[in-house]
Amino acid sequence: MCNTPQDNPLNLCQVPTGASVWVVALEGGHTSRRRLNHLGIHAGDIITVRRNTVFGGPLLISVHHTTVAIGKGLAAKIKVKFVANGLQSQP
Amino acid sequence: MVFKANRNIHPQIVLVGQPNCGKSTIFNTVAGYKSISTNFPGVTVQYTKSHITVDNRVFDLVDLPGTYSLISSDRAEFEAKKYLLNNDIHTIINVIDASILSRSLELSLQLLEFKLPLIICLNMMDEAFRKGISIDSKLLSQILQVPVIETTGIKGTGIGSLFACAAQHINVNRQPLQYSRHVEQVISALARDLSPVVHHNHRLPSRLLAIKLLEKDKFFTSLYPVDAQLKHKIDRHEKKLYKDHGQVAEEVISSDRHSKAMNLFENVATLHHPHKSLRDKVDDILIHPVWGYFFMLGLLFLFFIVIFQFGSIVETPILKMLDAGLLQLGRIFNTQSLTYQIISGMFQGIVGGIAIVLPYLLPFLIGMSLLEDSGYLPRVAFLMDAFMHRIGLHGVAIIPMMLGYGCSVPAVMATRILASQRDRFIVSVISILIPCSARMTIIFGLVGYYLGGAAAFGIYIINLVVIILTGKILSRLMPEDTPGMVLEMPSYKYPAIRVIFAKTRLRMKEFIIIAWPLLIAGSIVLGLAQWYNFDVVLNRVLSPLTLLLGLPVETGTTLIFGLLRKELSMLMLFQALGTQNLSAVMTSVQMFTFTLFVVFYFPCAATFGVLLKEIGWKRALLASCATIVLAMGIALMGRGVGSLF
């Protein structure tokens, strides 16, 4: 896990529960980017994944001191990289 | 001699803020309870207005719908922008949830671009403290050059000084913050080009228009169409931004504003270790992938049981009193006289409200307010997302549906929190099928009371099945990828008794001043109709329907009254059938069939009105008529199945 290829950004769906990542880019159209911007999510921001389950269901993330539920479809459009010391996911 | 019309216009104070920042709570604290506040984002979709008095001066206080930004073209933002540009605003109070200051400041920066008078209200200071954020409001005030007042709206602290400050600072216009040098250069160059366009409009600063045209904000581009020459200039500026930043103008500006807000936040806020509180631990259980669902079902079931138990305990003695009262009336007046018809109609209307509606409505409304204010509803949306995807929607759609159990009107209005138009249509249609509190009183008062709790529960289950099927069918008919869910989970809050009380009173008032008089008048009208034998005509017209469903022909008129208010359908039964003991004149199957029909058929007048507004008259009419067919089908099935028992 520690050797996650740092060069290729992941999308948020691939981030395990407990890990912190920073946003590299927001993909997708106008509308979805704006909806993410509304919640204060821009490139460069740090997101902590509070819950990411294998089953459908949305992700639960913490960003800018709030908790946001975000559908998998939209989460897949958020490209992220692990922050330096957040590489290990919590058990 | 010329008279000048004294239109009595008061200076205006306008509340602007992001969804769920506590604007409505502040509004209600000073203006009395007029706007429904809840603990989930996006509840206020229209603006509410009220007179308030501060230091012996009268002001108009306006509560605008919550908006995350002033960039996009969703309906709440459209309304907010329209209001800000078309009204004489004397002060804006920008309400900020202090616990999410960084994000909220982005809206503040956008508001400053309007160059209107403005003060900032740092609300929910207690919540910020819990999250370990302490804010230097003096420093914030210095940097923005705007007064900043700290409040905790739910406890009422700081509200007095907030409005005193607002009154002091009316008409003190503010200046926007500068963007980073390079972006600012482009904006001010375009603003200079635009100044001839806006010179006649004193409310629209040219710099604001420049930003909005670069952002391609639809509200502004449609309002201020530009000629070819100007278009060329805008394009040139856009290209310049794109060349230097590698992003389209809108993104460049938005990122720049974002980093400005973040810097500002880092300057004025200090972070401590958050207090991990009981609420966080509770939240871990409430949204647990397994226990969360147990809790949710348990809670809803408990809700059902409490209302049913409370209601039936109260209903029995009051119905007995009603019977005794009617006998008494019969002794005083000649039962064959017109006076008796009118007086007994009135009596039934009055007591019917107390006996049948209130015992169920009151506990329901209290429970609903508790659910709303605690912040639990968004958790339900989170838990139900996967399930909702199976009927082609996503989790947020559950919120209007849950509200629908209270009243269809706010449910249909709340569909605005959904991003896609197709979702809004489907959820509006589903919401009108959900038994609102009026229909709930029929389910409990008639089926529950005479046939038992299991039968009442059965109706809810049947309803749920129909709703799921309707949702599935509609989303198959209108295939579209739903844009997916984005929903903020607000912090849990202990519902304030004062607010719960006020909210319940406001919603009860709805029943007492609108439905009850209607009910009394309806009973009298029906009494008169019976006296003149007019009800026979109506019943005959509706007899194909009532006969098909195997109902007493007399129930025909009650269905007509139900179009005004759903409760009337049941309450008029007493008058129409001439007895308080319905079990003597209707069989169990008839009661069950009748209730099923009433639950599903045509929405009441008020709901139909909102539906017209939200989804257009064609679709509203189509959907409403379809409900009649649906109601007939289900009631027939109910009749068939019921007669097996």
The nearest CA of chain A is from the CA of B126 a distance in Å of 14
Q: A-contacting residues of B 42-81, CB under 8 Å?
A: 68-69, 71-72
- For testing contact with chain A, the best of B70, B97, B103 (most A CBs within 10 A): B103
Which residues on A lie below 8 Å from B72 (Cβ)? Answer: 31, 34, 38
Give the pLDDT band (50/70/90) at residue B73.
low
Give the pLDDT band (50/70/90) at residue B482.
low
Average confidence (pLDDT) over B13-26: 90
Closest CA to B561 of B550, B551, B575, B540: B575
- Please indicate whether, in this complex, the C-beta atoms of A73 and B481 are within 8 angstroms of each other: yes
Dist CA B458 CA B491 (whole Å)? 35
pLDDT at B41 over 70: no
Which residues on B lie below 8 Å from A33 (Cβ)? Answer: 251
The nearest CA of chain A is from the CA of B627 a distance in Å of 32
Q: Tell me, what's the ipTM?
A: 0.85
Average pLDDT, chain B: 86
**Between vectors from CA B443 to CA B497 and to CA B586, what angle results, nearest 5°?**
145
Which residues on A lie below 8 Å from B102 (Cβ)? Answer: 40, 64-65
Give the pLDDT band (50/70/90) at residue B480.
confident
pLDDT, residue B32, reads 79
The nearest CA of chain B is from the CA of A1 a distance in Å of 25
- For testing contact with chain A, the best of B281, B288, B485 (most A CBs within 10 A): B485
Give the pLDDT band (50/70/90) at residue B484.
confident
Which residues on A lie below 8 Å from B251 (Cβ)? Answer: 33
Better pLDDT: B335 or B105: B105
pLDDT, residue B247, reads 86
Average confidence (pLDDT) over B177-193: 91
Which residues on A lie below 8 Å from B254 (Cβ)? Answer: 37, 42
Query: Which chain A residue has its CA at the smallest distance from B98's CA?
Result: A65
- For testing contact with chain A, the best of B70, B488, B491, B492 (most A CBs within 10 A): B488
Most confident listed range (A66-75, B275-284, B402-411, B557-566): A66-75
Give the pLDDT band (50/70/90) at residue B451.
very high
pLDDT at B461 over 60: yes
pLDDT, residue A62, reads 92
pLDDT, residue B261, reads 95
pLDDT-above-90 percentage for chain A: 38
Average confidence (pLDDT) over B457-483: 89
The nearest CA of chain A is from the CA of B31 a distance in Å of 29
Q: In what order do the strands lie in the sheet with B48-54?
A: B48-54, B57-63, B12-17, B91-97, B118-123, B148-150
Give the pLDDT band (50/70/90) at residue B402.
confident
pLDDT, residue B4, reads 37
Average confidence (pLDDT) over B278-293: 86
B394 in contact with A at a CB cutoff of 8 Å?
yes
Average confidence (pLDDT) over B172-197: 89
Dist CA A62 CA A69 (whole Å)? 9
- Please indicate whether, in this complex, the C-beta atoms of A68 and B486 are within 8 angstroms of each other: yes
- Residue B465 identity (one-letter amino acid): V
The nearest CA of chain B is from the CA of A22 a distance in Å of 15
Maximum distance among all alpha carbons in chain B?
93
**Between vectors from CA B417 to CA B388 and to CA B504, what angle results, nearest 5°?**
95
Give the pLDDT band (50/70/90) at residue B34.
low
**Facing B386 at nearest CB: one of A34, A56, A64:** A56
Which residues on A lie below 8 Å from B101 (Cβ)? Answer: 65
CB contacts < 8 Å between A and B, how many? 100
> How does pLDDT run across B333-362, given as a tens digit for each residue?
887 788 888 888 888 788 777 876 778 888
pLDDT at B497 over 70: yes
Closest CA to B606 of B594, B595, B614: B614
pLDDT, residue B599, reads 95
Query: Which chain A residue has its CA at the smallest distance from B261's CA?
Result: A40
B518 in contact with A at a CB cutoff of 8 Å?
no
Give the pLDDT band (50/70/90) at residue B470.
very high
Which residues on B lie below 8 Å from A42 (Cβ)? Answer: 254-255, 258
> How does pLDDT run across A2-32, given as a tens digit for each residue?
444 455 789 999 999 999 999 999 988 887 8
Q: Write B442-445 long-range contacts (CB < 8 A, 24+).
A: B442/B566, B442/B567, B442/B569, B442/B570, B442/B595, B442/B598, B442/B599, B443/B595, B443/B599, B444/B307, B444/B308, B444/B311, B444/B312, B444/B360, B445/B311, B445/B315, B445/B356, B445/B357, B445/B360, B445/B570
Give the pLDDT band (50/70/90) at residue A85.
low
pLDDT, residue A88, reads 42
**Facing A39 at nearest CB: one of B131, B481, B488:** B488
- Residue B335 identity (one-letter amino acid): T
Better pLDDT: B357 or B100: B100
pLDDT at B481 over 90: no
B329 in contact with A at a CB cutoff of 8 Å?
no
pLDDT, residue B46, reads 65
pLDDT, residue B115, reads 92
pLDDT, residue B38, reads 59
The nearest CA of chain A is from the CA of B128 a distance in Å of 9
- Please indicate whether, in this complex, the C-beta atoms of A55 and B483 are within 8 angstroms of each other: no
Average confidence (pLDDT) over B164-176: 90
pLDDT, residue B614, reads 84
pLDDT, residue B300, reads 87
Average confidence (pLDDT) over B503-522: 80
A66 in contact with B at a CB cutoff of 8 Å?
yes
Most confident listed range (B317-326, B520-529, B533-542): B533-542
Dist CA B243 CA B265 (whole Å)? 30
pLDDT, residue A7, reads 58
pLDDT, residue B35, reads 62
Average confidence (pLDDT) over B166-189: 91
Two structure tokens written together for B462: 């049947």
pLDDT, residue B16, reads 95
Average confidence (pLDDT) over B401-425: 84
Give the pLDDT band (50/70/90) at residue B199.
low
pLDDT at B6 over 80: no
Q: Which helix (H) or strand (E) holds B150?
A: strand B148-150
pLDDT at B319 over 90: no
Most confident listed range (A73-87, B84-98, B219-233): B84-98
Contact B412, B432 (CB under 8 A): yes
> How does pLDDT run across B544-597, given as a tens digit for each residue?
999 999 999 989 988 988 887 788 888 788 878 877 788 888 999 999 999 999
- Please indicate whether, in this complex, the C-beta atoms of B378 and A44 are within 8 angstroms of each other: no
B290 in contact with A at a CB cutoff of 8 Å?
no
Better pLDDT: B530 or B428: B428
In angstroms, how far is CA B533 from the centroid of its own chain? 43
A27 in contact with B at a CB cutoff of 8 Å?
no
The nearest CA of chain A is from the CA of B146 a distance in Å of 23
Query: Which chain A residue has its CA at the smallest distance from B99's CA?
Result: A65
Average confidence (pLDDT) over B157-166: 93
Better pLDDT: A86 or A34: A34
- Please indicate whether, in this complex, the C-beta atoms of B386 and A42 are within 8 angstroms of each other: no
- Please indicate whether, in this complex, the C-beta atoms of A69 and B489 are within 8 angstroms of each other: yes
Pairing mode, if any, of strands B133-135 and B148-150? unpaired
pLDDT, residue A87, reads 44
The nearest CA of chain A is from the CA of B285 a distance in Å of 13
Which residues on B lie below 8 Å from A38 (Cβ)? Answer: 68-69, 72, 486
Q: Helix crossing, B206-215 with B181-198: angle to 10°?
A: 110
- Please indicate whether, in this complex, the C-beta atoms of B289 and A57 are within 8 angstroms of each other: yes
DSSP code at position B580: S
Report the half-sphere exposure of B195 (CA within 13 A, side-chain side): 6
pLDDT, residue B23, reads 87
pLDDT-above-90 percentage for chain B: 38
